[in-house]
Chains A and B, each alone.
Chain A
Amino acid sequence: MSKNEVFLRIIESQKIINNRFYDIRRINQEGGNGNFSLVFLAKDKTLRKNKDVVLKFFNPTRASVLGDYRQKCFEREAKILYRLKNQRNILPILQKLRNLEIELDYEHNKIPIQLNYYVTHKAKCSIGDYIYSEDWNLIRSIRYFREICKAVQRIHTQRIYHRDLKPENFLLFSYGYVCACDFGSACDYSEERIPILKDQDYDETEIGDPSYYSLELICNLQPSEELYRYSDFFALGAILFELFTRTRLTLIALRDPKLQVLINVIRNQKIYKRRDVFLSVISDVERQIDLPKVRSLNGELIKNISHRVDDLYMSLSRLNYKFRETDFSKIFNRINVIEKLILYDKLRNK
């Protein structure tokens, strides 16, 4: 039995947690989707109809990875969620970080262990699940994207940068309400930040799903607030692309050999030099790389819509981060136009 499984079973065997959560069930065999958490469903006594909630535990088997960095990330996630409590488009947290005391059998000895966990509401599914489901359609996609942008706008105005935006990290609730979650990699610049590890120990690209990484993150430029803000916009563009094509942008766009050369060259620089070098060559590179057009992957889209979607996602996901569209009012305007065009097209077909 794996260590993971031992913990999953111990948590599952708990009859009630915090005198409030009962009927604890694991979400799937692995326990959860996260890299460093074990996720369970449970019923909450305090909610109407004893509704299901989600209990997210820090996975102690991953505690040793990157020192205590994972542990800190978990704590940061709970802290940020609690700070953003009751704000629209943010996953509602029901209970802030707490400890569950369990006993682990080790060579016939009982070892007491404290497991960190926090509790959130349960969503219907993630946007990632929606994209690849049969419910997928254009009008929903653009509406969900608007919600996603609202969530990002909300956290950005509070100087929090998510750094791991992807469809899976947006949860879908009833009536098309979308919430951002998984703030494990987020950076909070509004207060003293939890220090990230030094360059020699830590690589930005070792955390999260690289399918939504912007080029500057892959090149591992020197971290800064500006950089993280821009990278979130790149991920927004990639999400929009995926919402309309059901294909991951970076799997197509970043496989160009020229970009492989660029990444290799930049990462071979000293960290403080990387940004200057990156900016000195990126315009030349960008000129030579064509981002894919949504219509080439989704033939159903009419030209009028696809051009606008292309314009929007390409302006969000520009390789040169300095020129990315970061004005949310403009982004919402463009989303509105696209939504209207899709509706018009739908009506016309009817």
Chain B
Amino acid sequence: MQTQLADKSIEEKLLLADEEVYTTLFSKNPFYKNLDINFKESTFLKKSIGKIYTTEEISSLEKGNLSIESKNINKRQIYYCLRDVKKNPQNPFLLNNLGLAFISAREYKKALKCFNEAILYDSTFISAKLNIAYIYVLLKEYAEAKKIYTDLLNSEPGNKAIKINLANISLIERDLDKAKKLFSEIWTKEKKNTDAGHKLSIIYILNNNGEKAISTLRDCLRIETNNPFLFNTLGLAFLVSGLPNKALNALFTATRLLPRNNKLALNYINLLFDLGKTDSAIKYAENYLDKEYDRNITEILVEMYLKKDEPKLAIREMKKIINESKAVETNEFEIARLYNNLGVIYDRMLEYENAEKMYLSSLKLVNFNNSVFLMNIIDFYIERKQNVIAKSYIDLLEKSFPSKNLHLFYKGILARNEEKFEEAINCLNEFLLVNKEFMYAYITLSGIYCEYLSNYEKAIDVLLNAPTEFKERIPFINDLAYSYLMNNNLMKANEVLKKVKPILNDPFITATRGLLKIKEGKIEEGRKLYNEAKKIARGDILKYQIEQKKHLEIGKYFIGKDKQLALKNLTQTKKLSKHQTIFRKQAIELLESLLIE
């Protein structure tokens, strides 16, 4: 399993649910896995201005903590509105104003009381009803808000504002069909309503209908020619349609129109990075960070430095993030997450001592009570073949998270490494009974069938029985294609590999493509792809493995065709590593049988 960079906590994600509700679907496709659609929720103002506003300060404001000045102004707004209401206590409009003042002061209960009172005096007062619904939206009580909007829509079927609000809630609740219907109605009637057009195009993107999204967004852009958020969504639409370069242009325009928006910048950097334009991405990120600090962009910069094999720079930035966070971060988990991530970097740099230190620091901060951190350290010890320590942490994992059965996954890996395949398969199957959503378990299980037991049919079967959402993810696609190839089903393998865009910078997929070429008899093309995979692979061990696999597969191809070439390649496989790997073992077996012949 790959070492995981710990993600933000679920609670935090929920707080951001409004804006990031659209992101998870995108993780299907790695081109845009980290991109998110921005509406108008940017935090544009962090610097430019002497004092650096940290993300926390801004998010706390956005979440509802008001500054002293705002509180003072709100207090006085309430005073004036209240004074008017006292003069004329039964006027629904004045009560409505007072309610609005209470909303500004985040006093929602009082606001609700005012609006309800306003409705009492004028039962047809739509604004007050809409404001009540708005409070429910703010409180994330969508069902209540929906009820009010639906009632209002029944009495006023043509009211656009109500339709938009209802559609927005449907979008948040992922009721895409309803949202689409409502936004379409508004958009067809009023082509100038770019907000409706924008949201409609987002729904098209969520439904993987890139073409429709593009045409809708182009219509919107004809009206609002310099709206950066429209360009941002256009970029995503291009990505869905498989046009990454056009997407890049659109995102570039968005960043030019609104250069200080961290989310637009993040999207652009992410895409550059995914398209392999790491140098440009680094340059852009560095320029952005020169002007203002942004944690997300710094984190992506860390990853890019790692990819560019500049771990020292990566560590420098990571330490910067940690220092910045220590000053403002009250959440210990967040610090622990950063320590864990720094550990991952050290791990990749092969600085094992530091990596271990960081992993342990992160675990200490959370009292050894986080499954991701525990899994990372277990992975670390298993890779170092320190099975005894790994086992102690596996026991801790079992003790701390007994219901999750996570320990069974590692017990399976340990059993596999000790060549106790039956035990490994049992452990993994038992693990999968509880953790159906854990993709790497399917990959490990199919790997045992494919590599160690040569039961390719079973390997394919395991993968095909996995949940459908994995079938779009790169490691899964790669494994499935590989299993088909090993089963000599080139057509199916080709079909599966076509799901992945050709420009992808992934060593595994590139190597699998190389294997396909070799199996098709295009040895040179295959060799070239394997070399490319080796080039982009991180870490010496992986590079060796790719090289071994290349020679093994070329050797296998020549068995029965050209004994000398077969022998040469298999011998090279054997020579490449002193450690016993599965490929070396396979090569030795093949060599022995060839020599016997």
- Taking Cβ atoms with an 8 Å cutoff, the residues of A that contact B are 28, 128, 131-132, 205-206, 209-211, 213, 218, 246-248, 250-252, 254-255, 257-258, 260-269, 273, 277, 280-281, 284-285, 287-290, 296-297, 299
Contact = CB atoms under 8 A, between A and B. Distances in A.
A262 B70 CA distance: 11
Nearest to A211: B77
B451 to A, nearest CB: 53
Contacts of B53: 261, 265
Contacts of B126: 299
B137 interface: no
Contacts of B195: 290
Interface stretch (B94-102, B265-273, B405-413): B94-102
Contacts of B91: 132
Contacts of B440: none
B61 A264 contact: yes
A258 B62 CA distance: 7
B103 interface: yes
Contacts of A205: 69, 72-73
B484 to A, nearest CB: 49
A181 to B, nearest CB: 17
Contacts of B50: 268-269, 273, 277
A264 B69 CA distance: 7
B127 A247 contact: yes
Nearest to A207: B76
A247 B96 CA distance: 8
Given A211-B80, A247-B127, A285-B45, 10 more contacts: A132-B91, A206-B72, A211-B81, A252-B100, A258-B62, A260-B66, A260-B70, A261-B43, A264-B70, A290-B195
B42 interface: yes
Contact of A210 (B77, B159, B260): B77
A118 to B, nearest CB: 23
Given A246-B93, A261-B43, A128 B84 contact: yes
B227 interface: yes
Nearest to B73: A210
Contacts of B84: 128, 132
* Range class of the B interface residue count: 35 or more
Which are the 9 A-B pairs with shortest beta-carbon distances?
Answer: A251-B100, A246-B93, A264-B67, A257-B62, A288-B40, A210-B73, A255-B104, A209-B80, A296-B161
Nearest to A298: B127
B93 A132 contact: yes
A299 B80 CA distance: 26
Contacts of A273: 50
Most chain A beta-carbon contacts within 10 A, residue among B58, B66, B93, B94: B93
A257 B59 CA distance: 9
B49 interface: yes
Contact of A261 (B61, B80, B97): B61
A218 B73 contact: yes
B88 interface: yes
B258 A287 contact: yes
Contact of A247 (B58, B73, B97, B159): B97
B225 interface: no
Contacts of A131: 93
Contacts of A248: 81, 97, 100
Given A132-B93, A210-B77, A297-B127, A260 B101 contact: no
A135 to B, nearest CB: 13
20 contacts: A132-B84, A205-B72, A206-B72, A211-B80, A213-B73, A218-B73, A247-B93, A247-B100, A251-B101, A251-B104, A257-B61, A258-B62, A260-B70, A261-B53, A261-B61, A265-B51, A277-B49, A277-B50, A288-B40, A299-B159
B48 A280 contact: yes
A281 B261 CA distance: 11
Contacts of B88: 132
A285 B73 contact: no
Contacts of B159: 299
B569 to A, nearest CB: 60
Nearest to A218: B73
A254 B130 CA distance: 18
Contacts of B43: 258, 261
B509 to A, nearest CB: 39
B97 A251 contact: yes
A265 B46 CA distance: 8
B264 to A, nearest CB: 11
Contact of B69 (A258, A267, A297): A267
A159 B260 CA distance: 38
Contacts of A289: 40
A28 to B, nearest CB: 8
A124 B596 CA distance: 116
Given A247-B127, A267-B69, A287-B258, A261 B76 contact: no
A263 B70 contact: yes
A262 B40 CA distance: 14
A205 B70 CA distance: 10
B129 to A, nearest CB: 12
B401 interface: no
B93 A262 contact: no
**Most chain B Cβ neighbours within 10 Å, of A218, A281, A288, A299:** A288
B427 to A, nearest CB: 49
Contacts of B227: 287
Give the one of A28, A255, A297 with max B CB within 10 A. A255
Contacts of B40: 258, 288-289
Contacts of B62: 257-258, 261
B66 to A, nearest CB: 6
A131 B84 CA distance: 12
A277 to B, nearest CB: 5
Interface in B78-94: 80-81, 84, 87-88, 91, 93-94
